[in-house]
Structures are given as C-alpha cells and as structure tokens.
Chains A and B, each alone.
Chain A
C-alpha cells in the first residue's frame, strides 16, 4: 500500500520539462537533419530548397572523401576496441592479484579518462613531434636513424591516432572489468582450484563467463564513443595529412560547418545514427540471449 500519491500527472510534471529540453536539443535537430538530407538544402536561399529524395545518400557514397572517412572510422574502431579490451582485461587481472595499494594505483591509472580528448590530442602530438617529441628522440638515441613520422606520415597517421585512442580508453576498460572481478566470489575460484583447474581454466571457464555481460556493455559504450570520435583527432591531426586520418565526425564537421554542404553532412549523420542503432541492436540481442541461457 502506497500512501504518497505520486500519480501519473505528478510524474509527468517532473519528467516532461526535461524530456522536452532533450527533444529540442536532440530529436528536433535529428528530424531537421533528416529533412535536410532529403532536400537540396540552401541555407541562404530557402526558396530554392527542393526535395531530392535519397539523392544525397547516393551521391555521398560516390564521394571519395566520405568513403575515406567511412573506412577510416571502421578501421579506427575495429583495431582500437580489441586492443583496449585485451589490455584492459590484462590490467584488471593484474590489479585483482595485488592486495595493497590497489585504490591508489586505480586512482592514478584512471586519470586519462578525465582528460579532455582535445588535450590528449595535443599531449600526444607533442610526444609524436619529430623535432621535440620524446618518442623520436628516444628512437634516435637507441640507434634508429629515421624513426617514423607518426602523425606527419599519411601511411601511418591513422594508426598513430589509434594508439592514442587505445591509451585513452584502456583505463575505463580496466576499471569496469576490475569492478566486475571484485564481484566474483573467491569461494568459486577456490572451489575450482580444489577441483584441479589451472590458471588458464579458471580464466577461461569462470572469470571470462562472469565478466561477459560487463565486457559486452563496455564494448557497446566504448565502441560508440570511438565511432563518433572527434576531439581527439581534431587535436592530433585534424584528419590530416591528406585526409589520411579523417573520420566521419570530422567529415561531417568539415562538410557542414566549413564547406556548407549541409546535405552531405546531414546524410552522413543519418548513416552514422543508423549504423549505431544496428550495432547496439545486435549487441543487446547478444546480451539478452546470454541472459536467457543463464537462467
């Protein structure tokens, strides 16, 4: 029996204003962007704006700049995520083994998570610099005469960005997986030990299945954040040199804000939204299926 009368109407007065604000900020621009993407949009001369159907979507897939950004983004996410997961898991397991100083180490390792991505970009641009960066100084010191030009070389600049992305995101993987590890009761591990399971078996058949839901959620969240990466690459390379590290968000910024190709920017935005929906749908399906199997 509830006494307090938290009715539908009262709930609505709490929820509706915030939801309206969110709609104004997210939903309306998205719908507007759908409108733009289906029209030959003229900002200055609205009277010349005409409906063109899916033409922008067809044309954008013929645009080399878009395709380049599209595949770079896929490479970026596809390479960064597995590395982040494996290194993060590795560190979480190491953190789980030690007893003293755990919280201090965790507190310091998590710092990059709170750095502005733009600042990270600059920090690593400074490290990568050929003249005054410490990486190439060190490589020359150990005898490599022509060290890689990390972000100035179009052939590897995307991968240099990926290294920074991995550096930036391993801490959150580590933190979440180590939180998952602490909820695993030591009795189960001890029981497995008594039954003769070695370290590999304990990892493969106890720890990994236990962490699976957390791994999936983290992959989902991180994957989407990497997919829309903007600040970090803006700080590092601005997509250059020669578009070699261009990604979708940068493409949208450039085509929408600088080139005033609003149709392309809007279409690219909807393609991204669509891809995100599919990816998260698949991951949630996987999680849901696992949840059912467990019961």
Chain B
C-alpha cells in the first residue's frame, strides 16, 4: 500500500465517522430527550435522568392498546404475507403455470402504485363492506401491502433452488404440497427470515393504511396514536419523545441485531427487483 492509498483510507475513515455522527445523532438525541426531565427540556445541555415522560405518556394515552394493535397487525400480516407470497413465488418459479409472465409483471407493477391512490377508494370500499376499524380489514390491508415485496425477494431465493431436490422428494413419496412445506420451506429458512423481518418492520412502520382504515381509538396503531398526539394539544414534546421512543426502539434494535439478514434482504429486494 503506497502513501496515496493510505491517505485515501484515512480520508475514508474520517468521512465514515462524520457520517455515522450525522445519521445516528438525531436518533440518539431524540431517545435521550425521552429520558430528560420535562422541566429542563428547553435547556439543551442539562440532562436529568427521569422516567417521568414515560409514566405520563402511558397514563395519558392508551399506548398499551396502540402497541397491542401494532403488534397484532405486524405479526399476523407477517405470517400471512410470507406464506401467501412464498407460495406465489414458488408457483412462479417452479410450476408450469401458464400466466407466469403476466403475473410477475402484475406484481412488479403493483409496487409502482402510490399508496394514497389506492387508499382513498379503498376507504370507500372498506366502509361499505364494514371493514374499516376492524382487525380483519386492517390485517387484509397490511398483508396485501407486504405480499409484492415477499414475492420479489423470494423469487430470488427460489429461482436458485435445486430442482433435483424436488424430484427426489417427490419420488420418495411426498406429494406436491408436502414438498413445499417439508422440503422447500426448511431449506429457504434464511430467505424466509429476511422477508419475515421486512414484512414485520413494514407493518410496524406503516402509517397511511392504519391512519385511513383504523382511526377509532381502539384500533389505532402506535404511529396513528403518535400522529394524533402531535396535533391535539399543540406539541407536547416530552410526550412525543417518550411515545416515539417506544415506537422506534424495537425496529432500531431489530435492524442492528439482525443487520446481516436485513442487509442481504435490502440488496436482494432492490437488485433483483
């Protein structure tokens, strides 16, 4: 390594350190604010640790209900979307379904559609079916939202899947369905883990669907609840900070702890998609 190269490495380290600061500071600063005594919130550098914000926000708003709703939706939508999406991807990559190309194009096109263009008419349709402010309605919406990404990522994993294994299992007495559940699913576990993380976080982070289809207090998810806090009484920053921390910490931890999966999923989804 010559001196010019060494200099480049040093410069790279400086750039990366600065960017780590830029990208992590706002998040850390926000989380710190949630532990700050609200009395000195306006005093930028004084920090007195207190859990008062959390105490107050849990007592003022039904945060536990919001969390429960967010969790139910994220878990169930994840389960359904991963199953349905993987079956579609398997159908597209390993069967002689006649409309493979059309279906693939359909699913890719769906990713282009702006959410809001669907949400307003969907609100009217769901209202007339009585599906707004119900768990089934919200779960259907969250599931459908996640399916296209599952299909696109799983197509990547499944198109490399050795066909000989399917034949071997079939000869050994599996039927066509049990091949999928006994042979394919266990062998693509890493891929399933990736899409499960993505759909879970996707539902957890989703705001527009929940805002439009679940606006009654008992069906609000965390983000909808959070958005409501911002407007009603002006801005009570100590509430927002505590509720916001409750909302973002799970995803931040997931993203860092599962970064290996998460990074492979992001690259697979975008490059192959």
A binding-site residues for B, Cβ under 8 Å: 2-8, 10-12, 14-15, 17-19, 21-22, 24-26, 28-30, 32-33, 36, 43, 90-91, 93-95, 97-99, 103, 105-119, 122-127, 129, 131-132, 134, 137, 167, 170-172, 175-176, 179-180, 199, 214, 217-218, 221, 224, 227-228, 230-231, 234-235, 238, 248-249, 252-253, 256-257, 262, 265-266, 268-270, 272-273, 276-277, 280
Interface string of B105-141 (1 = CB under 8 A from A): 0110011111111111111110000000000000011
Provide the B83-116 mask, 1 if CB < 8 A to any CB of A, else 0: 0110110111011111010010011001111111
**B244 lies within 8 A of A230 (CB):** no
**B179: Cβ under 8 A from any A Cβ:** yes
Which residues of B are found within 8 Å of A114, using beta-carbon distances?
201, 205, 251-252, 254-255, 262
In the complex, what distance in Å separates the CA atom of A19 from the CA atom of B100? 12
Apart from A11-B91, A109-B16, list 19 A-B contacts with CB within 8 A. Answer: A5-B176, A18-B84, A30-B121, A109-B20, A118-B207, A119-B244, A127-B26, A134-B29, A176-B270, A176-B271, A180-B271, A214-B271, A224-B111, A248-B114, A249-B114, A253-B116, A253-B120, A257-B123, A273-B114
* Closest chain B residue, CB of each to CB of A133: B44
CB neighbours (8 Å) of B29 from chain A are: 123, 126-127, 134
- List chain A residues, Cβ under 8 A from B226: 118-119, 122
B255→A119 contact, CB < 8 A: no
B residues contacting the other copy or chain, number (CB 8 A): 102
Measured between beta carbons, the chain A residues less than 8 angstroms from B71 are none
Asked if B187 is at the interface (CB within 8 A of a chain A CB), the reply is no
The residue of chain A having its C-beta at the shortest distance from the C-beta of B165 within the complex is A4
CA distance A224 to B26 in the complex (A): 25
Q: Which residues of B contact A94 (CB under 8 A)?
A: 11-12, 15-16
Contact B252 A257 (CB under 8 A): no
B140 touches A25 (CB 8 A): yes
**A115 and B176 alpha carbons, distance in the complex (Å):** 40
**Which of A8, A90, A93, A112 is B27 in contact with, Cβ under 8 Å?**
A112
> Which residue of the partner chain A has the closest CB to B252?
A111
Q: Does B237 contact A (CB under 8 A)?
A: yes
A132: chain B residues at CB < 8 Å are 41-42, 44, 237
